[in-house]
Chains A and B, each alone.
Chain A
Amino acid sequence: MQPEQNSVKKNLRKELDLIFVKNPVLVTGLALAPAVVGGFTVKNGLGLSLVFGMVTIPVLVLASFLGMLSPKVPQYVRTIAYVVLAALMLIPARMLASGIAPNLFDSLGMYFSAMALNTVWLIRAPLCQEKKPQWALWEGVCQTLGVSVCILAVSAVRELLSYGTFWGNPTFLSVKFPAMAYAFGGFIVVGVTAAVLRWGIDRVHDIARLAQRQQQKWRVER
């Protein structure tokens, strides 16, 4: 295999880790606020992940383009450019959100706008300045996927527990825990989800190690 192709594959796989193994919310602990507070129904969760994608991907791509400029452009000027772009991206995000559900923007309240300054791009944008634009775009997509997986899972659990519904439709659950819709319930659900995810990752690693050992044994036998 040629070295260039090899690096492409490596980069692709590295960013794909962001979805589960290095999940930005559950493992790294970034962008916790929307998952903990805002995402208490699946609709809200979908809206939040949509805004997240709409804001984060363009900012990371912009960062990689700004990184091509001469290093004389100071960091604070670049940060201002990111903030302006993120705030501007809220306008199309709101249009899309009203397409999903008419009252989504109102039910998200402050957390819709607060998504513009999420910690994921605040931390990743300076690092994306050294990346090529296509890799910055790929990272943005993977970050969005990771955050959406987490927020959707957490908000589904919270909606089931607190209201006994899923996407507004009643389900079989009769016992309800209304406190799960509050921030304190959000913390509990996010914590338990993070624990379950890490446990699952550990088990997958165990299985992979066992398979590797078995392969080695077979090779020796041959």
Chain B
Amino acid sequence: MLQNEPKAPYVRNRDSAFTVMMDVVVALLPLYFMAFYFYGLRALMLGLASVAAAVISDLACVLLEGKRPYPRDISSVVTGMILPLMMSAATPYYVVVSASVFAIVLVKHVFGGVGQSAFNPAAAGFAFAAACWPSQVFSYPAPFSSPAPFGAITEGLASGPAWSLFQGGVPTNDILDLLLGKFLGPMGLTNILVLATCLFYLLFRGAIGWQAPAAFFGIMVVAMMLFPRIPESGPMSLVYESTAGMWIFGGIFMLNEPGTLPKRSSSRIAYGALAAIFTILFQRFGRVEQTFAFALLLTNVFGFTFDRYSERLLRRLRRVYLATRTKLSEKKSAQRA
């Protein structure tokens, strides 16, 4: 008998929950660097406050549940890092902290903690902040205006191109500024080039699968090109929508959250497509300028259903395939005889 018998999963994958989460954290760091470049120390401090609130509330919930804290679980750090990037750099600290506490306590832990949550915690936290304090979350300071790192900021705030798109007008920003992210917008997700780099990094590291983002971005790009909601040509509409909106960031970091994403490839494609359809519908008929978080929350409900139905569908297809194959082989053998 072996003295040191190996434990149950004999074939282990190199990737664990920790490495995947760490990849996401690494991919989020350049966005924080860009936020620091545009808005100075306040961006970093907002991120720090959000992460601290998320980690402390996560620890408190785990202890309340009577479990032992697991230091390699850094999903709350990811949630805390994603949240302030979607908000204005002038957002008060209490907004960021309460959004993060809401996301962890009432969205993640009420449904059973890591990997069990029915809704994406970051999207729910953002939706909570957007519903409670729309004026603070959606009014942005100008880039390079160096807002004070602490205290409330009330002057020099304005709405960005997302608001003019929401009103049906064409933004007046320079195209180069839009592509480089130098315009009034959420502090971490204006630079589309950095976001694209993050997407490729995560895809090549294997932290996210290609199915859901491919379906999501495919449908979004086609819809933006063919049916622009502003009086502009298709490609220009795509540039405006993709730079001003939140959906590129969301499609990379929030759509692929492993807890809410379906497990099968086919259902992931359907999930991404549904998220795109909901995002477009919310853009046309919604009442908020950044609609992705709300659309994602609605899509989250269908994640489990897609998995179940795709399993049933594949089983049925396999049955039909096997039946036809046996029939064909019987025919062949009859012909030979």
Contact = CB atoms under 8 A, between A and B. Distances in A.
Interface string B100-114: 000000100010000
Contact of A179 (B94, B110, B128): B128
Please report whether the interface of chain B is mostly helix, strand, loop or mixed according to DSSP.
helix
A135 interface: no
Contacts of A175: 94, 98
B128 to A, nearest CB: 7
A177 B94 contact: no
Please report whether the interface of chain A is mostly helix, strand, loop or mixed according to DSSP.
helix
B131 interface: yes
B180 interface: no
Contacts of B106: 188, 192
A184 B131 contact: yes
Contacts, number: 15
Nearest to A180: B132
A175 B98 CA distance: 10
Interface string A146-189: 00000000000000000000000000000101110010100010
A182 B98 CA distance: 17
Interface residues of B, number: 8
Nearest to B130: A179
Contacts of B131: 178-179, 182, 184
Contacts of B110: 191
B297 to A, nearest CB: 11
Contacts of A177: 98, 132
Contacts of B133: 178
B61 to A, nearest CB: 13
Interface string B111-135: 0000000000000000010011100
B94 A178 contact: no
Contacts of B94: 175
A188 B106 CA distance: 8
Most buried by B among A175, A177, A179: A179
Contacts of A182: 131
A37 to B, nearest CB: 16
A175 B106 CA distance: 19
A162 to B, nearest CB: 9
15 contacts: A175-B94, A175-B98, A177-B98, A177-B132, A178-B131, A178-B132, A178-B133, A179-B128, A179-B131, A179-B132, A182-B131, A184-B131, A188-B106, A191-B110, A192-B106
Interface of A: 175, 177-179, 182, 184, 188, 191-192
CB-CB nearest 9 A-B residue pairs: A179-B132, A179-B131, A177-B132, A175-B94, A178-B132, A188-B106, A179-B128, A182-B131, A184-B131
Given A177-B98, A179-B132, A188-B106, 6 more contacts: A175-B98, A178-B131, A182-B131, A184-B131, A191-B110, A192-B106
